[in-house]
Amino acid sequence: MTTTSNTADAIAQAPGLVCQGFVPPLKLRDFKLIAFDMDSTLINIECVDEIADAAGRKAEVASITEAAMRGEITDYKESLRRRVALLKGVTVAHMQQVYDERLQLNPGAAELVAACQAAGLKTLLVSGGFTFFTDRIRDRLKIDSTRSNVLEEQDGVLTGRMVDQAWGDICDGDEKRKMLLQTCADLGIDPSQAIAMGDGANDLPMMGVAGLSVAYHAKPAVREKAMVAINAGGLDRLLEVVRLEP
DSSP lists the bridge partners of residue 201 as none
- The question of whether 236 is a catalytic residue gets the answer no
Tell me the C-alpha distance between 121 and 108, whole Å.
Answer: 17
- The question of whether 37 is a catalytic residue gets the answer yes
CB 48 within 8 A of CB 87: yes
List the catalytic residue out of 30, 37, 135, 236: 37
List the catalytic residue out of 9, 30, 39, 49: 39
What SS3 string covers 4-17?
HHHHHHHHHCCCCE
CB 184 within 8 A of CB 215: no
- Please classify residue 66 by burial: count the beta carbons closer than 10 Å to its beta carbon, then call 0-12 exposed, 13-18 middle and 19+ buried: middle
CB 197 within 8 A of CB 41: yes
Q: Catalytic residue positions?
A: 37, 39
